[in-house]
Amino acid sequence: MTKLDKTQHTKQEYRRLKALEKAKKREAKSGVQKPIVTPVTVSDDINILCVKHGTKYSADYVNKLYNMISRHCTLPFKFFCLTDNPNDINPNVHTIELPRFLSGWWCKPYIFSDQLPINGTILYLDLDLVVAQNIDNMFLYCPNDWCVIRDFTRHIRPDWKKYNSSVIRFRSGQLVKLWRDYSKDYKGIQARFFGDQDWLYDASNKANMPGTLFPDNWVRSWKWEIRRSKEFEAGRVKGERIFKDIEHIEPPKDCLITVFHGDPNPHNCKDPWVVNNWL
């Protein structure tokens, strides 16, 4: 491998190229065959984006997501949060006000708006996840496509094609058509679709803009694809349910992100790996 000449690059370019070089060395050393990735254009800005609306998730969820990304991303990045309440959010997180007519998971289509002060590559992440490994490849994989994960229904229906909107990567302006169409008929869309990810699958395919699926093994459901038991402790209401038993289990080595859809949320999961990594 040719040694990088630091004098031929800006500081930002050199850091990104070094990060890519390190990632390639890690893959070669591990001996594990991974999907082919392509370098991000060095002029790209790297951005992480999340949404916090209402009281379901506290500012602590935003702050811990920021901490996890800081530990597990070697590419220089900016971190943004779309929110209706910026109180107690880490000052290193750039907060952006949500439009008042949006609520719940129907805030997500706004991430595609051209009104956001974000340029470059955007990796949207839900708050209810725990980062397991270095996520640089989430930016390097098929960089000219917009990418999304396959919904976790895949664990019972292997041919399932629909999306899960917990993890989405796109370039600023790339999906603005979807936002414009949504904002024109958001009440009708909310009435016709169960949730934002069902709308995203339908709208992107009808517009001939289907997403490229990230490798399934990179992002896994903690409840359905990592744990052995899915049984909840009796007597708890939805939203506060916890697993009946604690499992001493870890994600596979090729898993980058674990997702906590439904119950329990990370703060209600007492599995030691989760406790030790959601911080």
1, pLDDT greater than 90: no
Which residues have CB under 8 Å from 207's CB, separation 6+?
177, 178, 181
- Considering the domain boundaries, does residue 191 fall inside one? yes
pLDDT (tens digit, 9 = 90+) per residue, 228-244? 999 999 999 988 999 99
pLDDT at residue 39 in the model = 46
The pLDDT of residue 253 is above 60: yes
pLDDT at 10: 52
Q: What are the C-alpha distances in Å from 221 to residues 73, 83, 153, 253?
A: 21, 25, 10, 14
**Is 9 a member of any domain?**
no
Q: Domain range holding 201?
A: 32-216
pLDDT above 70 (res 196): yes
pLDDT at 3: 60
99 domain-assigned:
yes
Report the percentage of the chain scoring pLDDT > 70: 84
The DSSP secondary-structure symbol of 106 reads G
Instruction: Please indicate, yes or no, if residue 70 is contained in any of the structural domains.
Output: yes
Does a structural domain hold residue 177? yes
pLDDT band per the 50, 70, 90 thresholds, residue 101: confident
Query: What pLDDT band is residue 170 in, cutting at 50, 70 and 90?
Result: very high
Tell me the pLDDT tens digit for each residue of 29-51. 544 444 544 444 434 699 999 99
Give 103's pLDDT tier (boundaries 50, 70, 90): confident
Residue 33 pLDDT: 43
| Residue 162: predicted pLDDT | 95
And the tokens for 130? 């725990």
- Rounded to whole angstroms, the Cα distance separating 186 from 192 reads 10
- The pLDDT score that the predictor gives to residue 32 is 46
The pLDDT tens digits for 171-192 are: 999 999 999 999 999 999 999 9
In a domain, 6, yes or no: no
**What pLDDT is stored for residue 131 in this prediction?**
98
As a whole number, mean pLDDT of residues 102-130 equals: 94
Is 221's pLDDT higher than 70? Answer: yes
Amino acid at 152: F
CB atoms within 10 A of CB 117: 8
- Residue 119 in tokens: 């340029």
Pick 202 or 27 by higher pLDDT.
Answer: 202
Q: What is the pLDDT of residues 84-93, one digit of tens each?
A: 999 999 999 9
User: Residue 102 has what pLDDT?
Assistant: 87
Average pLDDT value for residue range 3-17: 55
pLDDT beyond 70 at 278:
yes
d(CA 75, CA 160): 32
* 72 Cα distance to chain centroid: 13
How many distinct structural domains can be found in the chain?
1
Report the CATH number at residue 153.
Answer: 3.90.550.10
* Contact (CB, 8 A) for 225 and 191: no
Checking if the pLDDT of 68 tops 80, the result is yes
User: Comparing 24 with 60, which gets the higher pLDDT?
Assistant: 60
pLDDT in the model for residue 41: 43
User: pLDDT tens digits, residue range 138-162?
Assistant: 999 999 999 999 999 999 999 999 9
Residue 269 lies in a domain: no
* 244 occurs within a structural domain: no
